[in-house]
Amino acid sequence: MLRVLAVDDEVPALEELSYLLREDPRVEWVGGAGDAASALRDLSRMLTAGERLDAVFLDIRMPGLDGLDFTRLLAGFAAPPAVVFVTAHDDCAVAAYELGALDYLLKPVRRERLAEAVRRVVESVDHAARAARADDPGGGPAATGAPPAADDDEMIPVELGGRTRLVSRRSVTHVEAQGDYVRLHTAEGSYLVRMPLASLARRWEDSGFIRIHRSTLVASQHITELRFDAGRVAVQIGDELLPVSRRHTRAVRDLLVRSFRNGDHPDPAFHRTDPTRTDALRTDSLRPDSLRTDSLRPDTARPERLDAARPDAARRDADD
């Protein structure tokens, strides 16, 4: 059973296409979007939440981002859905197929012609599933909509000045929750995206992102320093010092220890020595042959400062 998204800027055309798709017994879910930019955001939210999307049926000529540009942007996704164009114009067929479109339908859409397009989508999805099983005989998750592998990058569509831009997951240093949105921070700037932080944390967990606070997610490869100061713990990312809640301190410590011991931190400086620091643990001062796990424990690091500054229960609850 297919999950598909219909996209058209004309409401009657969108309603008709959605109705015909719902009438097909091979389609279990039909979403709708009034423009390509909204469709990109919907697609990103679905994939972030781990939801499957098998195909997009969309118009070509729409205001702002058109159908062809939308299809070009899909290349940035780890597992893009199939694309079927539904348009009143026959002069874009060559460009559509060059972009990898699965089918090209002309309006007004005939029921039997749409049924043929759906058949092609079913065939394409089945073929992709068989190929995934052949590549992964152990039966690991490789289906459309599954989180990307840790070594794969992922592109996140964001709105910037009325234009849609793709931001690479690898460029994101940390993420902050802001109500129903998250703010993605990169070296070039920050971008507001409508999605829950919890879903993003689950999706990016295997890519080295870790929760340091109920409202903050960080990329472990960008952490350069772990600080202990008067009973408080924080991580240094670039020029920013981000607080770590007590609830998440152990997980942050354990992740840095594992990364260090396995030698899998992407920055070679992670493994160099800087013995001059005593009030902070720099990731470039940790050596595999000398690291002790308990040196990262906030209850043993500089105990005279931590014990003297023990917060009361109300303050501890607020920190979590």
As beta bridge partners, residue 242 has 235
pLDDT in tens, 96-155: 888 889 999 999 999 999 999 999 999 999 988 887 777 655 554 444 444 445 446 777
Instruction: Report the distance separating Cα 83 and Cα 73, nearest Å.
Output: 12
Helix (H) or strand (E) holding 175, with range, is strand 172-178
Burial (CB count within 10 angstroms: exposed 0-12, middle 13-18, buried 19+), residue 268: exposed
**Mean residue pLDDT across the chain:** 77
Instruction: Report the distance separating Cα 257 and Cα 254, nearest Å.
Output: 5
Instruction: Report the distance separating Cα 312 and Cα 319, nearest Å.
Output: 11
**Domain span including residue 159:** 155-319
Query: Does residue 145 form part of some domain?
Result: no
**Omega within 30 of 0 (cis) for the link into 108:** yes
pTM of the model: 0.52
Query: Does residue 143 form part of some domain?
Result: no
Q: How far from chain centre, in Å, is Cα 293?
A: 31
Q: Give the list of residues 6+ apart from residue 50 with CB closer than 8 angstroms, or none.
A: 145, 146, 147, 199, 202, 203
pLDDT attached to residue 135: 63
Are 121 and 21 in contact, with CB atoms under 8 Å apart? no
Query: Does residue 149 form part of some domain?
Result: no
pLDDT attached to residue 6: 97
Residue 226 in tokens: 């772990």
At 286, the amino acid letter reads L
Instruction: Report the distance separating Cα 177 and Cα 184, nearest Å.
Output: 9
Instruction: Report the distance separating Cα 158 and Cα 166, nearest Å.
Output: 6
pLDDT in tens, 72-104: 888 777 788 999 999 999 888 888 888 889 999
Quick one: 179 and 131 in the same domain? no
Quick one: 171 and 274 in the same domain? yes
pLDDT in tens, 226-248: 787 777 888 889 888 999 998 88
- Domain with residue 287: its CATH number is 2.40.50.1020
Quick one: 179 and 311 in the same domain? yes
Query: Does residue 256 form part of some domain?
Result: yes
For the chain, state the CA radius of gyration: 24
Quick one: 231 and 311 in the same domain? yes
pLDDT in tens, 236-285: 898 889 999 988 887 777 776 666 555 555 454 444 434 334 344 444 44
Domain total of the chain: 2
Using DSSP's 3-state secondary structure scheme, residue 81 falls into coil
Query: Does residue 288 form part of some domain?
Result: yes
Query: Does residue 150 form part of some domain?
Result: no
Quick one: 309 and 267 in the same domain? yes
pLDDT band at 320 (very low <50, low <70, confident <90, very high): low
